[in-house]
Each structure stands twice: as C-alpha cells, then as structure tokens.
Amino acid sequence: MDSDARMDIETFASLADLRGLTIENEDMRRRLHDGYCLLQLLLDQIPENIDAATDPALIFLANETKINR
Amino acid sequence: MTLLHNISMAEAVRMLLVGSIKPTELVETCLAQIEAHDSKLNAYITVCADEAREAAVKADQDIEQGLPRGLLHGIPVALKDIYDTAGILTTCHSKLFKTRVPDNDCDAWERMAADGAILLGKTGTHEFATGGPSFDLPWPPPRNPWNTEHIPAGSSSGSGAAVAAGMAYLAMGSDTGGSIRGPAGVNGLSGLKPSYGRLSRRGIFPLSWTQDHAGPLARTTEDCALAMQVLSGYDPKDPASVNTPVPDYMNIIKQPIKGMRIGWCKNWYEGEVDSSVENSLSDAAATLKDLGAEIVSLELPPLAEFHACGRIIILSESFAIHRQWLAKEPEVYGEFFRLRTRLGAFISADQYVDALRWRRLLATSMIKEMSEIDALLTANQNGPAETFKDSQQDYHFFGKPSLTMPANISGQPALTIRGGFAESGLPVGIQLIGQPFADADLLRLGHQFEQARPDLNAWPIL
C-alpha cells in the first residue's frame, strides 16, 4: 500500500491544528506528515470486530497471580 | 590476569565476602574507567564521585566491623536517568528536565540503597526513553564501547555502555518495547525485562504506563539474579505491582536445566536477520540441548502484529504524558522525540482501546502457544549494533518489527544473553522468554548457558 495516498499535507496540517499541535516549521510539518502516513499502516492492522466481551485489562493466572494493567 | 573492572558483580560480591577486596577499591576502579573513557563514551550524565567515595569509605568500615547490610553492600551501580534520586539531578536526558532534582527516591533505588549499593551516577538514555539517539539534546548520545562509531542501542543506552565498559558493575534500565534487551544485546551483556508487575516502577518517569518495566543490565545472568533478589517485592504505590512471594533466585539459578522444554521460535526472524544472529541461535540451541534441555519448534503469531499493537499503545500513552509540554514549547524537546511522540495525537480513543483489547488477544494467544514449554528461544536483534549514521531516522519503529515487543505485550519475563559475535567483532544477543512470573527459571537457563559457554566471555578493549 502507498501510505502517501492517505492524506495530502494541507489536509494533514488542518488535522494537526485541530488536535492542538504547534508545528514549528515546514520541514517538521513534512516529516510529521510522513510519520502520520506510516502510522496508518500500523492502525490498519488493528483487528476489526474484536469480541465485545474482550475487556482490555489483562489478567494472568500464573501461580494464581493476578495482574492489573 | 583479570582486571578488576572486567569482573562480574557476583565475583565482586564473593571477593568482598572473603575480604580480598574493599568497596573503596571497587568504586575507584569504576571511577578510573569513567575518568579514562567516558569523554568518548558519554555513558553518564551525572557522576556522583564524591558521594560514591564517601559511601565506599563507610561501607569499608561497616564490612570490617562485620556489619554487612545486604548482597549489594559496597557494590557501585548506576541508574538510567529516568530513575528518580532524591537530591540528585534526574534529567530524562531532556532539556525539559535539565535542572530537575527530585525530592524522593524511586522504589528501585530505595531497595538498592537499603541493601548497601553505592550510586556512581545517572546514565544517558534516549530522550524520555524514546527520542534518540539524538545530537540536539543538552548531552551527547552514549556510544558503544565495542566500537564508538556504533550505537549502544536504546533507550537504556548509557546503562548498557557503562556496564560493558566497566564503569559500573550493574546498571538499571527500563523496557517498554525492548529498551533493556536492545542495549544488552549489542553491548554483550545480560539484561532482564522481568514479568510485568514483578518490579515496582514507582519513581521512574513513564513512557507507557501499561508496558513499562524496570530491570537490570549486567555482565552476567548471575548478576541479574543478584539484582532481582534485592529489587523484587511488592510496592503498593505502583498499581501494577504484584503481591507474590519473592523466589530464591540465587539458589534456583544453580539448578541444572535437564528436562526443561524450550520452544525455538524461528518464524519471527528466519531470513530477516544477519547471519551472525541465525548462527548464534543455532549454536545456542545446540548448547541448551547438550545441557539436557529438550528443544522443540514453535510457531507464534506474526511478529508484525505484536509490533503494531505495542507501538500504537506506546504512542498513545506517551503523547498523553507529554501533550501539555508539547503544546506549549515543542522545541524544548529534540527533533526525534517531537516527531515520534506527536504521532500519538492522531490515534483516536477507539483505536487506543482496541489496541489494548488486541493486546489481550495476542498475550492470551502467546501464553497458550507456550503452555507446553518452559521457555522460548528466539532472536533479540536483527544484527550487530548499527552505526550512528544509519541510526539517524525519524521513525526507526516503522522499519522491521521489533523482536523484543512480544514480551512487552504479553508481560512475560524476557532475558537477553550474549549469543556470539559478528564478523566485525560486535556482540550479538539472543533472547529467552519465560512463563509469567517464572523469572527465576529464565535466569537459571541463562546462567547455565553462560556457564557452558566460557568462550563467549570477552570484553571491549577501550
């Protein structure tokens, strides 16, 4: 997949503004935009339709040990 | 003759016990190494020379009078500079905290100090344990003692460099996606990411609350076991701390490993890593088999899934921690930190929660797949330490998936030990992952392996 196809840099700048980010200059905006596009590749891997019963708290039952996370 | 700065911490403890050495000699040895080499290694941000000398004189007197305080009495150690130490500069290697002096000690230093350890100083890190190696911070990045053109990995970079260079007998690090095991592997050390909840993180500046672990970097696995004996214990002030008995690590590691079942996970690295890594793992499997362990092949869920899940969580949580400062004065941070951490602004609440739920699924799957084995053998790194030139990438984590992330996802203990050397002479680590809260058995595996492979015992010539 071409990550750069996700969002152009002008739209990205507006999104960054909405998220309250102060971006120092054009060079940093371009590099952050690169990172944003690559981030989408990670986010795309989150499985869809995880069972609603899957609570995020992770509990081990090793040696009757419980963990709060 | 073995030089005093090249002995392990356990050897130093044994020499102290029989009176063949004094704490003042150990401290002077480390300070001499720092004086001679740290101008090119940059392992330390703060060196507490006067305080360490004063503590060593007191330790000499206490030991002479038959008043040993604990296993680490008189042992010089270092702490990653995200560990709070009362009255001592604790910077997180960032301009933001350039003058920050905490009022209280972290849990780890409380325990080590009570045991009689002597603090040599605070070691360099990637900025706030994520933004590095960087050249735009108030202190230069630590360098690899095996070859200073190469990185000591991170983020516990100064801790790795300090121990490998004989500038401390033990250094504490933190591990959110591999920040203990990376430096351990490329500096030729033993490094343990304990089970999640085994060691308190109180007083350690967070990167990601749900994935941060404290742990030791040392010259040998026996040293890590010694450290764990002192550091383990319930801390009600860390909500993740688990109230479970502390095993007798030092006794357990002496037991043979005959009969242990070890799963060899190749699908995470085969064809993707340097030949030195593949060769080290094949050699390690043969050694473990010679020691009586049973080696079985084991395939686990794709590495890329662990990596993506862990990275989304780390970015979300680290942005939440730094959001206010990033909004007000972004340029107080280095460029790498600013770029990486601000990506968390673009992860939505539902994506973050789904990543947490995904983590539970991955952890459950990994633990289930490992239910018939005692430990997993796999790669720790893609190859020997890269050069500083190659390391200067805005987003290192969008490259190959991290081999160390799975144990941060599952919370299982993971130990890195020296597995071999690349043709360049740089060390290569291998990784062992244990069952939840079977940290002692994991250390047993590492210790017995090291006992069987004295050929791997070499140190950098500085």
**What is the interface pTM, i.e. ipTM, of the complex?**
0.93
- How far A10 CA lies from chain B's nearest CA (Å)? 15
Domain carrying residue B153: 9-456
Question: Which residue from B169, B192, B184 is spatially nearest to B13, judged by alpha carbons?
Answer: B169
Question: Which residue from B180, B134, B311 is spatially nearest to A35, judged by alpha carbons?
Answer: B311
Q: Report the residue of chain B nearest A15, measured CA to CA.
A: B346
- Summarised one tens digit per residue, pLDDT across range A3-60 is 445 799 999 999 999 999 999 999 999 999 999 999 999 999 999 999 998 888 766 6
CA–CA dist B141, B322 (Å, integer): 21
Domain of B341: which CATH number?
3.90.1300.10
Q: For residue A54, which residues of chain B lie inside 8 Å, CB to CB?
A: 357, 360-361
Task: Report yes or no: A6 at the B interface, CB cutoff 8 Å.
Answer: no
Active-site choice (B80, B95, B193, B266):
B80
What's the Cα-to-Cα distance from B401 to each of A33, B240, B304, B307, B433, rounded to whole Å? 21, 27, 5, 6, 17
Q: For residue A60, which residues of chain B lie inside 8 Å, CB to CB?
A: 367, 411, 436-437
Which residues touch B301 (CB under 8 Å, ≥6 apart)? B362, B365, B366, B369
Indicate whether B4 belongs to any domain.
Answer: no
Whole-angstrom Cα Rg for chain A: 19
- How far B242 CA lies from chain A's nearest CA (Å)? 6
The one-letter amino acid code at B218 reads A
- How far A46 CA lies from chain B's nearest CA (Å)? 7
The rounded mean pLDDT for chain B is: 97
The one-letter amino acid code at A68 reads N
- Say if residues B410 and B378 touch (Cβ distance below 8 Å): no
Query: Strand, coil or helix: what is B411?
Result: coil
Q: Is residue B179 flagged as an active site residue?
A: yes
Task: Report yes or no: B436 at the A interface, CB cutoff 8 Å.
Answer: yes
The one-letter amino acid code at B140 reads P
Does residue A1 surpass a pLDDT of 60? no
Indicate whether B462 belongs to any domain.
Answer: no
Indicate whether B286 belongs to any domain.
Answer: yes
Indicate whether B264 belongs to any domain.
Answer: yes
pLDDT tens per residue, chain B (462 residues)? 568 999 999 999 999 999 999 999 999 999 999 999 999 999 999 999 999 999 999 999 999 999 889 999 999 999 999 999 999 999 999 999 999 999 999 999 999 999 999 999 999 999 999 989 999 999 999 999 999 999 999 999 999 999 999 999 999 999 999 999 999 999 999 999 999 999 999 999 999 999 999 999 999 999 999 999 999 999 999 999 999 999 999 999 999 999 999 999 999 999 999 999 999 999 999 999 999 999 999 999 999 999 999 999 999 999 999 999 998 899 999 999 999 999 999 999 999 999 999 999 999 999 999 999 999 999 999 999 999 999 999 999 999 999 999 999 999 999 999 999 999 999 999 999 999 999 999 999 999 999 999 999 999 999
Q: Which of A16, A20, A35 sits opposite B395 (nearest CB)?
A: A35
CA–CA dist B30, B67 (Å, integer): 24
Indicate whether B260 belongs to any domain.
Answer: yes
- Summarised one tens digit per residue, pLDDT across range B276-316 is 999 999 999 999 999 999 999 999 999 999 999 999 999 99
Indicate whether B288 belongs to any domain.
Answer: yes
Residue of B317, B325, B346, B402 to mutate, testing the A interface (most A Cβ within 10 Å of its Cβ): B346
Which residues touch A47 (CB under 8 Å, ≥6 apart)? B354, B358, B361
Q: Is residue B80 flagged as an active site residue?
A: yes
CA–CA dist B338, B390 (Å, integer): 20
Task: Report yes or no: B357 at the A interface, CB cutoff 8 Å.
Answer: yes
Task: Report yes or no: A27 at the B interface, CB cutoff 8 Å.
Answer: no
Which residues 192-231 on chain B approach chain A with CB closer than 8 angstroms?
196-197, 210
Residue B178: is it exposed, middle or buried by C-beta count within 10 angstroms (0-12/13-18/19+)? buried
Q: Greatest CA span in chain B, whole angstroms?
A: 62
Q: For residue B239, which residues of chain A lie inside 8 Å, CB to CB?
A: 68
- Say if residues B143 and B186 touch (Cβ distance below 8 Å): no
Q: For residue B358, which residues of chain A lie inside 8 Å, CB to CB?
A: 46-47, 50
Residue found by looking up tokens 């503004």 in the block = A17
What is the side-by-side strand order in the sheet with B44-47? B44-47, B118-123, B76-80, B170-175, B213-218, B190-193, B414-421, B427-434, B375-379, B261-264, B294-297
Number of domains chain B is built from: 1
Q: Classify residue B130 by its DSSP letter.
A: T
Question: Which residue from B210, B143, B184 is spatially nearest to B411, judged by alpha carbons?
Answer: B210
Active-site choice (B94, B155, B195, B410):
B155
Indicate whether B1 belongs to any domain.
Answer: no
Which residues 376-435 on chain B approach chain A with CB closer than 8 angstroms?
394-395, 398, 411, 435
